[in-house]
C-alpha cells in the first residue's frame, strides 16, 4: 500500500487478467510463470512457500493477510523455495511475532521467489475451482507477453519435477532408534523431524537404486512427498517394488503414496484443482475416526486399481478420493495427505508411531 | 452414529432476559436448537422467561413455558412434561447453572430422571469450578496462571501471600465476568475479593497472577460422541489481557500466530475439551500468550455454546448451535452435511478469506456515575460485527456499524474531541482501556506518535497498530487535496481500507453525495463476496454476503419480487432483541408469502443474521451509504427492478434512514407520515385536528426558548431530544435552573453532542409532565382499506414518568375503566387513519383522572410487539409485514394468519430487567431515561400471580418473611398504608423512616422499627437504613424518590440495596402490585402452564 510499488498484472492461460502490485523477488525478464493453484490454510504461509512439492507452481493464498508474523529459518520446509511464485491479497507491511527473524517480503527476496499482491484472490480461486488449475504468468512484462508465457508453460503433467528438487548427495538426519532410508522426492523438513524422533534417517536422492538402499540394511524405508506427476519419476516403481518385496517396512506420504501405489499396479490421475490446505476431513477406515488433515497434491490414486493388492485405509470425506492404503501382502502403507503437518493440524501424527511399530515387529 | 431413538421428549432451557453478558446470542442458539430438534422429530419443551425472544414463539416448540427460570419452576415443568432429556448447553450460563441446581437436587442427570445431554454434571463442574479446572489442566500438561481458591477473606489473604500482587480475582459460577477485577494494591484486593465472594453463588473466588498485557485468544471447539474434534474459529483480541473478551475488539481469524504457535494452541484446546469431558457440542477455550516468548496459559473454558460461538458462527458460516443440537441427539460431525456447501461434511475446520472484526457497544452515557473504564468485568450491552477482506476495512466498517455518530476510524467531526489533549495526555488516555481507546490510538498515530510508543502504552500488537497506520497514511495522502485530484487508484485504495464516503467527504471538505457521485464516476462500486466456510474451495449454496472493493461480484441474479428488511444493528439500551424479533418474523412471513427476503444487519448475536432466516443476508453496517449500495446490488441482480424496503421494524436505526431512501421503495407507512409523527409542529396540528388532548408543550433549540415554554406550561416539565429511542437523555425537571442544565447537557456533552448537538432539525421537546398519571401503550395495525386492528392495550404499573421500557405493564389493563380503554382504542384508530398508517403503530397515552392525553405516536414496530403477540396469540409482526406489502387484514384473516386475540382467563405482565448489579455506583431509581437491558414476562390466572412471576423471573425475590423497609415520598404515603396493611396480613415486619412511620401511626399502623435519616443520624440514636441493608436485617426495600429537594438519602439506600443484593422497588405502584401478588399467592402452589395452552392450541 506504500507508494513506489510497481503495478503489474497476472495473466492466466484463458486470458483472465488480474491487477496487482509486485512483491518479493523481481523475476528474470519480468515474468514469473507456472501452474496456478490455491491453498486455503489460515496459518503457515512460510511452510507452504518453502514446500518442494510446489515446484512448477504458483501458489495463491486464499487467506487475505499474509506475512503478519514474519518468517523464521526454522520454519522452512526445505533449503530453498521451489515454487515459481506467490499470489496474495495483502502482504503485511509490518510483521509482529517474537519468533520472526525477517519479513516475508525479505524472505521472498532472499529465496528469489517473485510475488504479486493486491489481487482479488477470491475471484482467482473461484476461477481455478471452476475451470481447474490454470497456467499463469505475472510480472512487469506487458500482458501479451504474459499470456504467451502462460500458454507456453509446460504445466506439471508429464514433467519430471522431482529431479529438480531432490538432494544430490545422501545425508543423515537425527539419531533415533531405528535406521530409516528416506527417498527424497522433495522431502519436507517437518517429515524429517517427525522421522528423527523414531529413527536415524539417511536421506537419499530420488533415483537411488533398490540395491543401494537394501545394501544399507535399513529397518525401514520412507517414500517422501514431492512435486508433480508420479508417472514421471523414473525407476521409482521398480526400486520401490524391490524394496517392499524384500520385506523392508515401508511408509509413504503424498507423492510417496502415489509411487507405492503405482509400484503395485495402482493408477494415478490428476484432480481438477487438487487439494491444498489444512482443513480436509479424512476418515481412518479402520477406526472410523475423522482426522483434520494437511493436504497438498494435484495427483491422486484410483482406489479401484488397488483393490486386489491393498486395503484402503483412509478416505477424503470432502470428495471421497483415496487418502491412504496398506498393501495386503507386504509391510508397507502410505497416505496421500500430510500427517507431519507443517503447516496444519497434528491429528495424524500417530502414523509415524505406526511406522515405528511396523519396524519394531519386523 | 445416527440419531438417538431412545429419547423422544427434550427440555431446552433458555437463558432468560437480556442482561449484560448474556444477550440475544442465546436466542439465536436456542432458536436453532428448537428448529433442529423439531425437524428431527423430537417433542420439544422450552422454558424461557423472555417474551422478546424468537425461540419462545409458540411455533418453535411443542410446549413453550414463559415462566421464571428458577429450579423450583423448572422442577414443576419437568414434573408436568416428563422429558427424557434436558439440553442445558444452549441457554448460556443461566441454562448451565439451572441444570447444575437441578442435578444437585437429584431432579436431572441421575438414574430415573431426565438425562443431561450435551454436557453432563461432571463436565460442567470441571469447567466451571475454578479449582477443578486448574487441576484438570495441570493434569494434561497445560500451563495455567499461578492461583489459589478462597471462600472467605482470611483464605483470600493467605492465597495473596503465596502469589503476590498484582492479581486478578474471578468469582466461580458467574457469567460475563461479574465481580471480577484486577488488584494492584492491598486496598484494591480487599474490595474486589469481598465483592467477588458476594457475587459468586457458592462464595468462591479464584485469585491468580495477573497477566495483563499478554495477547489473548479464543478457540471455538466442537466435539461429537465419537470423539471427533474440530476447531471452528480462532479469535484474536485486539485489546490485550485485562479487558473482558466481551468488552474487547476481537478479530477472526487470529492474525499474529504462526502455524507452529497456532497448532500448539489447537492441540491444547482439543486436550482441554477432552479432559473436561464435554461429550458433544461446542465449547470455547481462552488462552493468553506472552508476546515476548510465546509462553501460553489456559485462562478458561465454557462447556457450552457462548457469545463467542455466536460470533464464530456468523464469522465463518458454520452454525455451531445447530450442529451442537444435532450432536447432542447422537449424530456425529461426519454424518451432518455442511449447510453451506451441501456437498461436504461438517467434520472439517472452516477456513475464511476475509477478516471479521467485532466491536462492543457500551451504554455508559445512560449510567451516570460509572467510570467508563473497561476491565475484567463485562460492561458492554451489545456489539457490531463487520466483514472486510482486510483488517482495516473490517475495522472501519465495524466502527461505523456501532451507530454512535462515528463514520469509521476518525476522519469525522467526532475526532475533534481528542484535539484538546497533548501527546502525553493522549497516550496516557489511550493506555487506559475505554470505549474511546480505539479512536485515541487512531489520533495518536495521526500525530506521528510511533507504533512502538503506542504499543508500549497500550500493549496492542504492533501488527494491528500498523494496519491502523495504513488507514492514517491514506488519509494523509488525500488530505489537503480537492476531491477531483484524487486518482482512481487512490480512491479505490481508500475504499479498500474501509473509508466511508462520509469520511472521504470530511477529508475532502465536501459532502457525502458529492463523494459518492465522484466515486461512481470513477467506476468504483462495491462488490459482494460470499461467506462460505471454505474460502471458495467449494461452491456455496447460501447467499450470505459482505461488501468489499474488488473485481468480482457474487450476488446471483433472481427475478422473484424481493423485499429488503433493514435490521436494528447492535443491541443497545432501548433497542434490542424485540426489534430483531419483528424483522425475523417479517422475513418468515414474507418468505411464506412468496417474496424473496433480503436481510441487512450487523449484529452477530441475532437470529436475523442467521443465514437461514432470509433468502439473502447482507452482513453490512446500517448506514445510508451501505444500505443504498445493497439496494443498488439487489436492483442490479433483479435486472433493474428495484426491491421494496422495510424500515419500520428494526427500531430507530432503519427509521432514521427512511428519509434518505427513495420514498417509492419504502414498504408500509410513507416517510411523510413518519415525519408527521416525529415533527413536533405537524404532530401538534394533527392532534388538534383530531381533538385529542396532549400535555401542553413546545420545541426549543436554546435555553431561553426552553424557559419560555416551561413558564407557559408550568413545571415539572419533561425534556427530551427528538429522533431518539429509549428515552435517551430524557429528564423530568422541576425548575428553571435544572432546565438550563438539561439543555446545556444535550447541546454539548455525551453522544448527542458527538452527533452534532442540537439544531432546528434536531430540537428539544419540552412538555408539561403529568404527575401521577397512568401510562398506557397501544400496539395496532392499520391496512390500506383503513381497517385498524388493536393488537393490545397495556397498562403500566409504574406511573407516567418512568420510561415505558423500564416500567412493568399488564395486558389486559387492570385499573382502567372499560370506557377509558374504549376511548384509547378510538383515539388510536383515529390517529392511525390520519397518518395513513400501513402496518404497525404504537401510541402512548397518559390517563389523568378522566382525561386521556396522547403522549406520542410512532408508526413503526415497538418494543412491546413480541410481548403483545405472546399475551394475545396474534402474530402482530407477521401480519404487519404482510400489510406493509399490500395485503389487507381481511385477506390475512381469510388466509388464517390473523386470528382473534385470546382474551380472558389470563393476565400477562411484562417486567423490565435492569443492569444495576454491574454498576453499584449508579442510582437505581427509575426515571424517564430507559436503562433496562431486557425484559421478562409473567403469565398466570390473575394479575397478582402474574406479577409475582414477573418479579421472580426478573430476579427480584419478593419477601415471604423478615422485615420490609419503607421510605416514601408524601404523595405515595396513602398507597403505602395499603402496602403495610397487606404486609401485616402476610406476617412480615415493617421498618420505616421517621416521616413514613409517623404517617402510618396516624392510621394505627405502628412500625416495628423506626429508621433515622442519614442526614440526621449524628443527632439520633436510631439505626440508619444503609447499615440495616448492609447487615441484611432487611429483606425488601420500598423507596420512592422525592420529586424535588434532597434526594441523597434515597439514593444512598437504593445503592446500598443494590450493592448488597437486597431486592428493592422504587415506585409505590410496584410495591402495591407485589404485596397483592404475594397475598394472592399465599398458601397456594405456583402453577405452570404453556403458551400453547393459554392460546388454546
pLDDT tens-digit map of B238-278: 999 999 999 999 999 999 999 999 999 999 999 999 999 99
Q: What band does B537 get if pLDDT is binned at 50, 70 and 90?
A: very high
On the question of pLDDT at B1014 being above 60, the answer is: yes
On the question of pLDDT at B327 being above 80, the answer is: yes
The alpha carbon of residue B535 is apart from the nearest alpha carbon of chain A, in Å, by 6
Q: What is the average pLDDT across B295-323?
A: 95
In chain A, positions 304-323, which contact chain B (CB-CB < 8 Å)?
317-319
Quick: pLDDT tens for B817-842.
999 999 999 999 999 999 999 999 99
**Confidence (pLDDT) at B681:** 86
B903 touches chain A (CB under 8 A): no
**Confidence (pLDDT) at B201:** 78
Which of A58-62, B32-36, B757-761, B941-945 bottoms out in mean pLDDT, i.e. has the lowest?
B757-761
- Comparing CB atoms, the residue among A3, A62, A95 nearest residue B536 is A62
- Comparing CB atoms, the residue among B333, B350, B463 nearest residue A68 is B463
Q: Which residues on neighbouring strands pair with residue B839, listed in sequence order?
A: B782
Quick: pLDDT tens for B95-124.
999 999 999 999 999 999 999 999 889 999
DSSP structure string for B475-525:
HHHHTTS-GGGS-HHHHHHHHHTT--HHHHHHHHTS-HHHHHHHHHHTT--
Provide, as residue numbers in chain B, all residues whose Cβ is less than 8 Å from the Cβ of A47: 259
Provide φ and ψ at A219, rounded to 5°.
-70, -30
Cα separation of B548 and B530, whole Å? Answer: 11
Give B621's contacts (C-beta < 8 A, 6+ positions apart): B384, B386, B397, B398, B400, B401, B569, B602
**Confidence (pLDDT) at B928:** 85
Quick: pLDDT tens for A152-171.
999 988 899 999 999 999 99
**Confidence (pLDDT) at B300:** 92
On the question of pLDDT at B778 being above 50, the answer is: yes
**Confidence (pLDDT) at B750:** 46
On the question of pLDDT at B746 being above 80, the answer is: no
Provide, as residue numbers in chain A, all residues whose Cβ is less than 8 Å from the Cβ of B257: 43, 69, 97
Q: Which residue of chain B is at minimal alpha-carbon distance from A121?
A: B353
**Confidence (pLDDT) at B1044:** 43
A288 touches chain B (CB under 8 A): yes
Provide, as residue numbers in chain B, all residues whose Cβ is less than 8 Å from the Cβ of A319: 344
On the question of pLDDT at B60 being above 90, the answer is: yes
The single residue of A47, A77, A254, A280 carrying the catalytic annotation is: A254
On the question of pLDDT at B753 being above 70, the answer is: no
Which of A250-264, B257-271, B296-310 bottoms out in mean pLDDT, i.e. has the lowest?
B296-310
On the question of pLDDT at B1019 being above 70, the answer is: no
Quick: pLDDT tens for B282-293.
999 999 999 999
Among candidate residues B484, B592, B493, the one with its CA nearest the CA of residue B548: B493
Provide φ and ψ at A96, rounded to 5°.
-150, 110
The pTM score is: 0.94
Which has more pLDDT, B958 or B54? B54
- Comparing CB atoms, the residue among A89, A93, A283 nearest residue B389 is A89
Give B382's contacts (C-beta < 8 A, 6+ positions apart): B23, B360, B361, B570, B571, B572, B576, B603, B605
ipTM over 0.95: yes
B263 touches chain A (CB under 8 A): yes
Q: What band does B953 get if pLDDT is binned at 50, 70 and 90?
A: very high
B563 exposure class (CB count in 10 Å sphere: 0-12, 13-18, 19+): buried
Give A130's contacts (C-beta < 8 A, 6+ positions apart): none
Q: What is the average pLDDT across A214-234?
A: 96
Inter-helix orientation angle B71-81/B92-104, to 10°: 70
Quick: pLDDT tens for B405-454.
999 999 999 999 999 999 999 999 999 999 999 999 999 999 999 999 99
Phi-psi region of B854 (alpha: psi -120 to 50; beta: other; left: phi over 0): beta
**Confidence (pLDDT) at B376:** 85
**Confidence (pLDDT) at B756:** 47
Cα separation of A39 and B1018, whole Å? Answer: 77
Distance of CA B448 to the CA centre of its chain: 38
On the question of pLDDT at B174 being above 80, the answer is: no
Which of A227-241, B716-730, B995-1009, B1041-1055 bottoms out in mean pLDDT, i.e. has the lowest?
B1041-1055
Q: Is A77 a catalytic residue?
A: no
| Number of Cβ atoms within 10 Å of the Cβ of B772 | 12
Give B680's contacts (C-beta < 8 A, 6+ positions apart): B698, B699, B722, B763, B765
Please state, rounded to an integer, the average pLDDT across all residues of chain B: 92
Give B35's contacts (C-beta < 8 A, 6+ positions apart): B60, B322
B337 touches chain A (CB under 8 A): no
B1 secondary structure, DSSP code: -
CB contact under 8 Å between B255 and A63, yes or no, is: no
Cα separation of B398 and B462, whole Å? Answer: 20
Size of interface A-B (CB pairs under 8 A): 176
A118 exposure class (CB count in 10 Å sphere: 0-12, 13-18, 19+): buried
**Confidence (pLDDT) at B96:** 94
Quick: pLDDT tens for A35-68.
999 999 999 999 999 999 999 999 999 999 999 9
Q: What is the average pLDDT across B309-324?
A: 96
Cα separation of B1097 and B1091, whole Å? Answer: 9
Q: What band does A4 get if pLDDT is binned at 50, 70 and 90?
A: very low
Q: Is A340 a catalytic residue?
A: yes
Q: For residues B549 and A118, is the Cβ–Cβ distance under 8 A?
A: no
On the question of pLDDT at B972 being above 80, the answer is: yes
Q: What band does A282 get if pLDDT is binned at 50, 70 and 90?
A: very high
**Confidence (pLDDT) at B293:** 94
Among candidate residues B693, B668, B695, B697, the one with its CA nearest the CA of residue B827: B693
The alpha carbon of residue B523 is apart from the nearest alpha carbon of chain A, in Å, by 15
Cα separation of B913 and B909, whole Å? Answer: 13
- If you compute the radius of gyration of chain A from its CA atoms, what whole number of angstroms results? 20
Cα separation of B133 and B128, whole Å? Answer: 7
Q: What is the average pLDDT across B202-216?
A: 90
Cα separation of B299 and B285, whole Å? Answer: 8
Q: For residues B926 and B808, is the Cβ–Cβ distance under 8 A?
A: no
The three-state DSSP-derived secondary structure of B275-318 is HHCCCCEEEEEEEEECCCCCCEEEEEEECCCCHHHHHHHHHHCC
**Confidence (pLDDT) at A361:** 81
Among candidate residues A167, A297, A275, A135, the one with its CA nearest the CA of residue A228: A297
**Confidence (pLDDT) at B94:** 94
In chain B, positions 226-245, which contact chain A (CB-CB < 8 Å)?
226-228, 230, 234
On the question of pLDDT at B747 being above 50, the answer is: yes
Quick: pLDDT tens for B473-486.
999 999 999 999 99
Phi-psi region of A178 (alpha: psi -120 to 50; beta: other; left: phi over 0): beta
Which of A5-19, A179-193, B605-619, B1016-1030 bottoms out in mean pLDDT, i.e. has the lowest?
B1016-1030
**Confidence (pLDDT) at B594:** 96
Provide φ and ψ at B46, rounded to 5°.
-120, 135
Cα separation of B1057 and A252, whole Å? Answer: 71
Which of B221-235, B624-638, B1052-1066 bottoms out in mean pLDDT, i.e. has the lowest?
B1052-1066
On the question of pLDDT at B694 being above 50, the answer is: yes
- A45, A74, A75, A122, best to mutate vs chain B, most B CBs in 10 Å: A122
**Confidence (pLDDT) at B762:** 73
Cα separation of A129 and A240, whole Å? Answer: 34
On the question of pLDDT at B1045 being above 90, the answer is: no
Cα separation of B828 and B780, whole Å? Answer: 8
**Confidence (pLDDT) at B912:** 95
**Confidence (pLDDT) at B313:** 97
Cα separation of A246 and A330, whole Å? Answer: 9
Amino acid at each position: 500500500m506504500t507508494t513506489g510499488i510497481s503495478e503489474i498484472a497476472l495473466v492466466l492461460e484463458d486470458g483472465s487478467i488480474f491487477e496487482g502490485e509486485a512483491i518479493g523477488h523481481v523475476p528474470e525478464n519480468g515474468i514469473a510463470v507456472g501452474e496456478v493453484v490455491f491453498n486455503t490454510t489460515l496459518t503457515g504461509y512460510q511452510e507452504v512457500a518453502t514446500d518442494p512439492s510446489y515446484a512448477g507452481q504458483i501458489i495463491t493464498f486464499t487467506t487475505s493477510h499474509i506475512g503478519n508474523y514474519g518468517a523464521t529459518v526454522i520454519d522452512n520446509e526445505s533449503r530453498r523455495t521451489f515454487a515459481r511464485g506467490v499470489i496474495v491479497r495483502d502482504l503485511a507491511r509490518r510483521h509482529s511475532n517474537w519468533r520472526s527473524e525477517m519479513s516475508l517480503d525479505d524472505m521472498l527476496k532472499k529465496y528469489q521467489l517473485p510475488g504479486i499482491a493486491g489481487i482479488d484472490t477470491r475471484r482467482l480461486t473461484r476461477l481455478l475451482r471452476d475451470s481447474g488449475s490454470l497456467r499463469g504468468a505475472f510480472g512487469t512484462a506487458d500482458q501479451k507477453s504474459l499470456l504467451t508465457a502462460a500458454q507456453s508453460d509446460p504445466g506439471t503433467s508429464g514433467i519430471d519435477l522431482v529431479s529438480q528438487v531432490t538432494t544430490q548427495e545422501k545425508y543423515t538426519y537425527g539419531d533415533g532408534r531405528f535406521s530409516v532410508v528416506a527417498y527424497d522426492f522433495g522431502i519436507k523438513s517437518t517429515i524429517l523431524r517427525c522421522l528423527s524422533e523414531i529413527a536415524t534417517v539417511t536421506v537419499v536422492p530420488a533415483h537411488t537404486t533398490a540395491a543401494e538402499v537394501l545394501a544399507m540394511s535399513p529397518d525401514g524405508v520412507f517414500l517422501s512427498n514431492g512435486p508433480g506427476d508420479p508417472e514421471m519419476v523414473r525407476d521409482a516403481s521398480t526400486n520401490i517394488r524391490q524394496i517392499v518385496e524384500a520385506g523392508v517396512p515401508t511408509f509413504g506420504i503424498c507423492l510417496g503414496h502415489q509411487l507405492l501405489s503405482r509400484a503395485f499396479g495402482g493408477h494415478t490421475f490428476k484432480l481438477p484443482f487438487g487439494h491444498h490446505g489444512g482443513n480436509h476431513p479424512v476418515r481412518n477406515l479402520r477406526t472410523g475416526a475423522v482426522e483434520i488433515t494437511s493436504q497438498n497434491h494435484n495427483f491422486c490414486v484410483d482406489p479401484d486399481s488397488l483393490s486386489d493388492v491393498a486395503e484402503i485405509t483412509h478416505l477424503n470425506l470432502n470428495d471421497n478420493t483415496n487418502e491412504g492404503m496398506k498393501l495386503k501382502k507386504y509391510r508397507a502403507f502410505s497416505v496421500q495427505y500430510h500427517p507431519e503437518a507443517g503447516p496444519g493440524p497434528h491429528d495424524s501424527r500417530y502414523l509415524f508411531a505406526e511406522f515405528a511399530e511396523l519396524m519394531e515387529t519386523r | 452414529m445416527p440419531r438417538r431413538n431412545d429419547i423422544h421428549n427434550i427440555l431446552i432451557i433458555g437463558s432468560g432476559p437480556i442482561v449484560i453478558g448474556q444477550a440475544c446470542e442465546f436466542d439465536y442458539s436456542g432458536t436453532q436448537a428448537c428448529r433442529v430438534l423439531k425437524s428431527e422429530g423430537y417433542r420439544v419443551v422450552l422454558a424461557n422467561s423472555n417474551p422478546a425472544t424468537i425461540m419462545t414463539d409458540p411455533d418453535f416448540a411443542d410446549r413453550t413455558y414463559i415462566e421464571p427460570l428458577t429450579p423450583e419452576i423448572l422442577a414443576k415443568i419437568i414434573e408436568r412434561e416428563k422429558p427424557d432429556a434436558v439440553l442445558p448447553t444452549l441457554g448460556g450460563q443461566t441454562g448451565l447453572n439451572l441444570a447444575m441446581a437441578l442435578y444437585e437436587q437429584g431432579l436431572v442427570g441421575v438414574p430415573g430422571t431426565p438425562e443431561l445431554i450435551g454436557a453432563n454434571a461432571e463436565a460442567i463442574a470441571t469447567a466451571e469450578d475454578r479449582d477443578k479446572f486448574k487441576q484438570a489442566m495441570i493434569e494434561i500438561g497445560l500451563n495455567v496462571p499461578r492461583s489459589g481458591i478462597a471462600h472467605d477473606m482470611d483464605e483470600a489473604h493467605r492465597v495473596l501471600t503465596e502469589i503476590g500482587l498484582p492479581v486478578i480475582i474471578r468469582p466461580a459460577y458467574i457469567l460475563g465476568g461479574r465481580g471480577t477485577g484486577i488488584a494492584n494494591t492491598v486496598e484494591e484486593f480487599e474490595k474486589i475479593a469481598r465483592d467477588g465472594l458476594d457475587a459468586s453463588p457458592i462464595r468462591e473466588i479464584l485469585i491468580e497472577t495477573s497477566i495483563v498485557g499478554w495477547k489473548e485468544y479464543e478457540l471455538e471447539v466442537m466435539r461429537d460422541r465419537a470423539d471427533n474434534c474440530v476447531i471452528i474459529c480462532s479469535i484474536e483480541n485486539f485489546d490485550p489481557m485485562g479487558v473482558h473478551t466481551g468488552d474487547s475488539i476481537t478479530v477472526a481469524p487470529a492474525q499474529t500466530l504462526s502455524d507452529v504457535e497456532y497448532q500448539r494452541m489447537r492441540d491444547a484446546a482439543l486436550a482441554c475439551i477432552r479432559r473436561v469431558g464435554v461429550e458433544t457440542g461446542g465449547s470455547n477455550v481462552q488462552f493468553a500468550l506472552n508476546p515476548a516468548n510465546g509462553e501460553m496459559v489456559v485462562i478458561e473454558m465454557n462447556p457450552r455454546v457462548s457469545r463467542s460461538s455466536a460470533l464464530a458462527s456468523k464469522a465463518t458460516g458454520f452454525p455451531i448451535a445447530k450442529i451442537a443440537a444435532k450432536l447432542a441427539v447422537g449424530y456425529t460431525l461426519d454424518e451432518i452435511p455442511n449447510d453451506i456447501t451441501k456437498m461436504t461434511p461438517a467434520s472439517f475446520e472452516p477456513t475464511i478469506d476475509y477478516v471479521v472484526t467485532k466491536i462492543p457497544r457500551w451504554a455508559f452515557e445512560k449510567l451516570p456515575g460509572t467510570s467508563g473504564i473497561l476491565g475484567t468485568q463485562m460492561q458492554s450491552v451489545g456489539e457490531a460485527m463487520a466483514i472486510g477482506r482486510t483488517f482495516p476495512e473490517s475495522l472501519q466498517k465495524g466502527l461505523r456499524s456501532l451507530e454512535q455518530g462515528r463514520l469509521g476510524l476518525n476522519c469525522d467531526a467526532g475526532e475533534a474531541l481528542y484535539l484538546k489533549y497533548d501527546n502525553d495526555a493522549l497516550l496516557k488516555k489511550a493506555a487506559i482501556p475505554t470505549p474511546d481507546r480505539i479512536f485515541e490510538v487512531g489520533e495518536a498515530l495521526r500525530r506521528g506518535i510511533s507504533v512502538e510508543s503506542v504499543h508500549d502504552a497500550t500493549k496492542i500488537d504492533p501488527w494491528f497498530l500498523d494496519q491502523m497506520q495504513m488507514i492514517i497514511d491514506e488519509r494523509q495522502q488525500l488530505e489537503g487535496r480537492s476531491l477531483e485530484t484524487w486518482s482512481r487508484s487512490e480512491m479505490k485504495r481508500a475504499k479498500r481500507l474501509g473509508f466511508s464516503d462520509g469520511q472521504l467527504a470530511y477529508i475532502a471538505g465536501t459532502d457525502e453525495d458529492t463523494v459518492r457521485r465522484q466515486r461512481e464516476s470513477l467506476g468504483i462500486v462495491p462488490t459482494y463476496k460470499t461467506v462460505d466456510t471454505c474460502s471458495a474451495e467449494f461452491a456455496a449454496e447460501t447467499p450470505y454476503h459482505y461488501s468489499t472493493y474488488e473485481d468480482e461480484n457474487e450476488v446471483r441474479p433472481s427475478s422473484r419480487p424481493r423485499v429488503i428488511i433493514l435490521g436494528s444493528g447492535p443491541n443497545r439500551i432501548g433497542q434490542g432483541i424485540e426489534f430483531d424479533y419483528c424483522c425475523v418474523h417479517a422475513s418468515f412471513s414474507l418468505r411464506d408469502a412468496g417474496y424473496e427476503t433480503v436481510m441487512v444487519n450487523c449484529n452477530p448475536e441475532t437470529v436475523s443474521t442467521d443465514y437461514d432466516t432470509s433468502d439473502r443476508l447482507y452482513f453490512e453496517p446500517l448506514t445510508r451509504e451501505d444500505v443504498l449500495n445493497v439496494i443498488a446490488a439487489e436492483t442490479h441482480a433483479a435486472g433493474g427492478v428495484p426491491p421494496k424496503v422495510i424500515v419500520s421494524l428494526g427500531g430507530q436505526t432503519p427509521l432514521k434512514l427512511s428519509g434518505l431512501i427513495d420514498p417509492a421503495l419504502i414498504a408500509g407507512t410513507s416517510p411523510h407520515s413518519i415525519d408527521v409523527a416525529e415533527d413536533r409542529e405537524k404532530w401538534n396540528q394533527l392532534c388538534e385536528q383530531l381533538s385529542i388532548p396532549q400535555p401542553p408543550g413546545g420545541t426549543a433549540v436554546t435555553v431561553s426558548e426552553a424557559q419560555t415554554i416551561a413558564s407557559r406550561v408550568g413545571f415539572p416539565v419533561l425534556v427530551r431530544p427528538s429522533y431518539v429511542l429509549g428515552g435517551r437523555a430524557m429528564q423530568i425537571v422541576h425548575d428553571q435552573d435544572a432546565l438550563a442544565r438539561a439543555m446545556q447537557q444535550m447541546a454539548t456533552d455525551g453522544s448527542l453532542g458527538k452527533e452534532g448537538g442540537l439544531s432546528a432539525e434536531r430540537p428539544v421537546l419540552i412538555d408539561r409532565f403529568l404527575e401521577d398519571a397512568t401510562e398506557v401503550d397501544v400496539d395496532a395495525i392499520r391496512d390500506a382499506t383503513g381497517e385498524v386492528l388493536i393488537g393490545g392495550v397495556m397498562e403500566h404499573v409504574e406511573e407516567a414518568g418512568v420510561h415505558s421500557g423500564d416500567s412493568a405493564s399488564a395486558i389486559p389493563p387492570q385499573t382502567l375503566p372499560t370506557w377509558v380503554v374504549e376511548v384509547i382504542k378510538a383515539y388510536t384508530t383515529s390517529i392511525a387513519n390520519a397518518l395513513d398508517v400501513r402496518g404497525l403503530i404504537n401510541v402512548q397515552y397518559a390517563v389523568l383522572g378522566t382525561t386521556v392525553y396522547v403522549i406520542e405516536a410512532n408508526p413503526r414496530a415497538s418494543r412491546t410487539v413480541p410481548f403483545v403477540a405472546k399475551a394475545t396469540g396474534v402474530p402482530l409482526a407477521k401480519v404487519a409485514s404482510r400489510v406493509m406489502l399490500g395485503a389487507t387484514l381481511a385477506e390475512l384473516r381469510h388466509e388464517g394468519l390473523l386470528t382473534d386475540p385470546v382474551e380472558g382467563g389470563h393476565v400477562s405482565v411484562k417486567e423490565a430487567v435492569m443492569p444495576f448489579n454491574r454498576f453499584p455506583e449508579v442510582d437505581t431509581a427509575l426515571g424517564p431515561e430507559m436503562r433496562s437491558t431486557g425484559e421478562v414476562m409473567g403469565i398466570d390466572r390473575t394479575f397478582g400471580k402474574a406479577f409475582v412471576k414477573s418479579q421472580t423471573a426478573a430476579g427480584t425475590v419478593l419477601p415471604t418473611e423478615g422485615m420490609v423497609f419503607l421510605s416514601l415520598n408524601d404523595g405515595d404515603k396513602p398507597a403505602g398504608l395499603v402496602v403495610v396493611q397487606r404486609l401485616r396480613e402476610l406476617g412480615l415486619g415493617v421498618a420505616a423512616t421517621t416521616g413514613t412511620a409517623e404517617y402510618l401511626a396516624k392510621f394505627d399502623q405502628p412500625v416495628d422499627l423506626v429508621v433515622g435519616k442519614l442526614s440526621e443520624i449524628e443527632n439520633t440514636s436510631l439505626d440508619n437504613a444503609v447499615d440495616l441493608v448492609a447487615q441484611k436485617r432487611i429483606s425488601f426495600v420500598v423507596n420512592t424518590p422525592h420529586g424535588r429537594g434532597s434526594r441523597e438519602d434515597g439514593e444512598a439506600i437504593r445503592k446500598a440495596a443494590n450493592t448488597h443484593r437486597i431486592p428493592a422497588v422504587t415506585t409505590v405502584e410496584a410495591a402495591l402490585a407485589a404485596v397483592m401478588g404475594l397475598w394472592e399467592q399465599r398458601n397456594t402452589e405456583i402453577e405452570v402452564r404453556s403458551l400453547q395452552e393459554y392460546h388454546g392450541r
